Structure 1
Amino acid sequence: MKKVKTMSAIKEIPVNLPKLLTLFKTIVPKLTNDKYKGQYGRIGVIGGSLEYTGAPFFAAISSMKVGADLSHVFCQANAAPVIKSYSPDLIVHPVLDCLDAVDKIQPWLERLHVIVIGPGLGREPLILKTVTNVLKLCTKLQKPIVIDADGLFILNDNIDLVSGQRNIILTPNAMEFRRLFGEDVNSVRQKMSCLGDGVVVLEKGVNDKIHIPHTNEVYSMPTGGSGRRCGGQGDLLSGSLATFFYWSLQSNQPNPAYVAACASSYLVKRANSTAFKKFGRSLLASDMINEISTVFRSDFEDAETG
């Protein structure tokens, strides 16, 4: 019997980290008194249910900790008071389970720069249907989108929702990646090729991998972080990714999704390793949030930037 080729058969290209670190600094906007609130980024997070309130908070607050000015969370009504209690810095909309949720969300979408779909979303069929319609609306409005967690669950049988669209980043872990694209190399290549040149896939793992579907290129980020795999780290990545994505687009990078994916991958791994030195096995995602500013100042900013 012919042996099936797995993903290991696809050649991975190690990134040039020193070059990337220099590039990261070029997309970070300088802080000046000439800007008004919102110009450094307005991020929207679609997610949050009774069971999962931490995930949308982590995504939204990390987008602001990186440097976005405003972050909105569009969640189910019973999740809103809890999410609001976590931080007064977030703008929380308890609308996802309204019958007219899409109509309520639409006016806000037009003001937002990047939309994150999935953190803490849950899998209630009616909610998933609503969010599917929000996703369609986002693509119609040509909004840059990051899709994570249960947002990816929507795509398992509906990958055509993003195929051929522009400025979309998917952030699956290893299991979510297999559900989306299969396990053998031929399946992965075939399904990837259908995505077009406007979608990038950030596969999370020990070495995060950035897939460029239309070129069949796979870039491997360095090993980082620690052995501590607490919940919430993927949410920190999706939120920080949204801010980096906006900045990359604003700085007219030729490959903005790729640059943003590399930047968020690097930041979260570094925040994890920095926090691990302090907390070890007790490390939590909330500890990593507190390290974002330290890592950012050290690795992402020139002295005159901040």
Structure 2
Amino acid sequence: MVTKQHAHLMSLVGKMIPPVSGKLHKGQAGRVGVLGGSGDYSGAPFFSSMGAMRFGCDLAHVICEPTAGAVIKTYSPDLIVHNILDAKRSQAEIRKDLEGILSRLHVLIIGPGLGRDDHMQSCARIAFELARENDQMSVVVDADGLWLVQNDPSVVMDWPGVPRIVLTPNVMEFKRLCQKMASMNIDESGPATTLCPKLARALQNLTIIQKGPTDIISNGLTIPSDFFVNKKEAEYLEESSEGGLKRVGGQGDILSGSTGVLMAWGSEWVRGTYEPVGMPPPASKALAENIPLLAAYGASTFNRALSKRGWETKKRAMVTHDLIELVGPVYEELFGDHDT
């Protein structure tokens, strides 16, 4: 059953979505990059980037190691693949190329298929540094991007202004992050609704989607009363919509892709990009300053609905590629009618 609170939050998410309009040019509805794809992992960056494309972004770039890039190019010609993360190249060369690519993006997703070897982790560290310097860019962190955050939390700290970062840890990734930040009095045995805000505060108020039976979303701050039907104050949002009964590798990658697109749309809405199509920047400061929270909630809802549809359609045979094919129909059910 859809509660009034859930419907209210989804109506706020819907405000960020630009219409499909001839008045917008290619790229204004989202330019998303995925940094990952090591020699062993080519599926994850594909699912993240193609999930973003199916969700509705205009352009998706995959920044990866050459071996993975050669494979990803065979999956789809719709993706722009940059094979620049070559271990034979110097970090200075990789930084220069990354700087050029990132300057074209609204959002960078760090982690899908990244792997944990020193070279790929160093490439991710460079990407974090460049994103921090670009005040127009948002970042979503998943998978082995979270491994880097766990080992070096400084990569997501001391960002200027409102943190433009969303972390998407699963149960084990969240536990490891809590253990790393134990010096901040985070007791990993506590309830999720307490732990998620504490961890977000320890990481300087970035936004966390704590994935689980119920998704807990928090930036560690008091969420504005505008977000609640009864105008209460709380430190977290809770998404408990029904999902599918089967968990397959790659579902989290689709979550990172959809989160990235909503972050791109929300950020461009705040900047006034969509004013020519009847979407002036938000008058509410509470909305303008909490785009990551709205993007996280909308993506959580979407991925739960997607998982449910995949399970209903394929049952035990469900694989992540089935979910990619369902992204469009599920999107229309949740967010349709944004046309002019």
Structure 2 Cα separation of the partners of residues 188 and 85 of structure 1: 39
Give the residue type in structure 2 aligned to 1:95.
I
Check 1:184–1:163 CA distance in 2 against 1; reply closer, same or farther (3 A cut).
Answer: farther
Deviation for aligned residue 1:189? 6.1
Local SS of the residue matching 2:62 = strand
Q: What does 1:271-282 align with in structure 2 at a 5 Å threshold?
A: 271-282=306-317
Partner of 1:5: none
Structure 1 residue 184, shift from structure 2 partner: 3.9
* 2:39 is aligned with 1:55: no
Which deviates further from its counterpart, 135-144 or 227-236?
A: 135-144
Unaligned runs of 5+ in 2: 180-187, 223-233, 271-286
Q: What letter is aligned with 2:313?
A: K
2:104 aligned to which of 105, 111, 116: 111
Could you tell me which residue of structure 1 aligns to residue 280 of structure 2? none
Asked whether the equivalents of residues 195 and 214 of structure 1 are also in contact (C-alpha less than 8 Å), the reply is no
Q: TM-score, normalised by structure 2?
A: 0.81
Greater shift in the superposed pair: 96-105 or 209-218? 209-218
Please list every run of 5 or more consecutive structure 1 residues that lacks an aligned counterpart in the other structure: 1-13
Q: Distance in 2 between matches of 1:171 and 1:32?
A: 31
Name the aligned partner's letter for residue 304 of structure 2.
K
Q: How far is 1:188 from its partner?
A: 6.6
The equivalent position to 2:133 in structure 1, one of 123, 140, 151, is 140
Determine the structure 2 residue equivalent to 1:234. 252
Aligned positions of 1:35-184 closer than 5 A:
35-97=24-86, 98-99=89-90, 100-142=93-135, 143-165=137-159, 166-182=163-179, 183-184=188-189
Is structure 2 residue 323 aligned with structure 1 residue 288? yes
Q: Deviations over 1:56-103 (max 9, x none)?
A: 000001111111100000000111110010100000011112322111
- Residues 150-189 of structure 1, C-alpha deviations (whole Å, 9 max, x = no match): 0000011211221232200011001000111131449876
Aligned to 2:208: 201
CA distance in 2, matches of 1:272, 1:120: 21
Q: CA RMSD in A?
A: 1.9
User: Offset of 1:228 from its aligned partner?
Assistant: 0.4
Alpha-carbon contact 1:207-1:221 (below 8 Å) kept = yes
Amino acid at match of 2:52: S
Moved over 3 A (4+): 184-192
Shift of 1:18: 1.0
**Preserved contact between residue 15 and residue 219 of structure 1 (Cα < 8 Å):** no
CA distance in 2, matches of 1:206, 1:301: 27
Structure-2 residue corresponding to 1:192 = 200
Q: How many residues align?
A: 291
Report sequence identity in percent.
34
Greater CA drift, 44-53 or 123-132: 123-132
Deviation at 1:190, TM superposition (A): 5.5
Question: 1:189 and 1:67 mapped to 2: Cα distance?
Answer: 30
